[in-house]
Amino acid sequence: MVLKGCIFDLDGVIVDTAKYHFLAWQRLADEMGFDFTEDHNEALKGVSRMASLEILLRVGGIVKDDEEKIELATRKNNWYVEYISRMTPDEILPGSIDLLTRLRSEGILTAIGSASRNAGMILDRIGLRLMFDAIVDGNKIHSAKPDPEVFLKGAEELGVAPENCVVFEDAQAGIEAAIAGGMKCIGVGSPLNLGRANLVVPDLKHITLNQIKNL
């Protein structure tokens, strides 16, 4: 492929915020009186805040009206923001900075494509905002992954056609979104969850520019 742009999911690809999402959802489940495990949490990755809450409530067998749902999601987000407001650049995942630096030195454009409404705050905390030519987050989109909107908007903001973009994703919903958007995608994590990606790597340390170009 002719590689012109790389679009990165944020949570679980560039930075390990998945553990903070999990802690905050678990705390909410605990208050409601049920167990919420790491296995359950897998289904929440890449999924928007309200869709995540729906999954959590299903796990607990709990029914809430719309007003209560907004209150619960706000409570979870307040805890989450409290956790991420203490993040440092040490929490950037292995290989991220090297890969971004390499891509940019080759003239390949970089973007964030994240469902999170907290993406800007995270990028500021870890000091990586300037590594991206475009940042598309949950505040800019209407349809969550697996809808391709977030990645298509990322490509558009970069001024690059979808077929010249590669997406990096740690969530099943994100892989589906990349495929639906007509983009190649690299799964970051386990092939067990990310089998539909063109290539799966354990982290960004284990990928070379040639591998990306040869997708």
DSSP secondary structure letter of residue 134: E
Q: Which amino acid is at 110?
A: T
53 token code pair: 């809450």
125 contacts ligand G6P (rule: CB under 6 A): no
Residue 200 burial (CB count, 10 A): 19
Residues 3-22 touching ligand G6P, rule: CB under 6 A, are 11-12, 21
Q: Which of 5, 12, 113, 148 binds Mg ion (CB under 5 A)?
A: 12
203 with 185: CB under 8 angstroms? no
Per the listing, tokens 């409570």 go with: 75
User: Is 98 one of the catalytic residues?
Assistant: no
184 contacts ligand G6P (rule: CB under 6 A): no
Q: Which of 27, 104, 117, 129 binds ligand G6P (CB under 6 A)?
A: 117
Q: Which does 77 bind (CB under 5 to 8 A by kind): ligand G6P, Mg ion, none?
A: ligand G6P
Q: Which of 6, 14, 40, 49 binds ligand G6P (CB under 6 A)?
A: 49
CB of 183 to ligand G6P, least distance (A): 17
CB of 125 to ligand G6P, least distance (A): 13
User: Is 11 one of the catalytic residues?
Assistant: yes
φ, ψ at 170 (rounded to 5°): -110, 0
Q: Which of 62-70, 95-103, 109-117, 183-191 is the region at the interface with ligand G6P (rule: CB under 6 A)?
A: 109-117
Residue (21 or 184) nearer to ligand G6P, CB: 21
CA distance linking residue 111 with residue 80, whole number of Å:
24
Task: Indicate the Cα dihedral angle 198, 139, 50, 175, nearest 10°.
Answer: 0
Over the window 162 to 181, marking each residue x when it contacts Mg ion by CB under 5 A and - when it does not, the resulting string is --------xx----------
Q: Which of 47, 57, 93, 123 binds ligand G6P (CB under 6 A)?
A: 47
Burial 79-114 (b: 16+ CB within 10 A, else e): bbeeebeebeeebbbebbbebbeebeeeebbbbbbb
167 with 113: CB under 8 angstroms? yes
Helix (H) or strand (E) holding 128: none
CB of 129 to Mg ion, least distance (A): 18
96 contacts ligand G6P (rule: CB under 6 A): no
Residues found near ligand G6P in the complex (CB under 6 A): 11-12, 21, 44-49, 52, 77, 114-118, 138, 171
- Tell me the catalytic residues: 9, 11
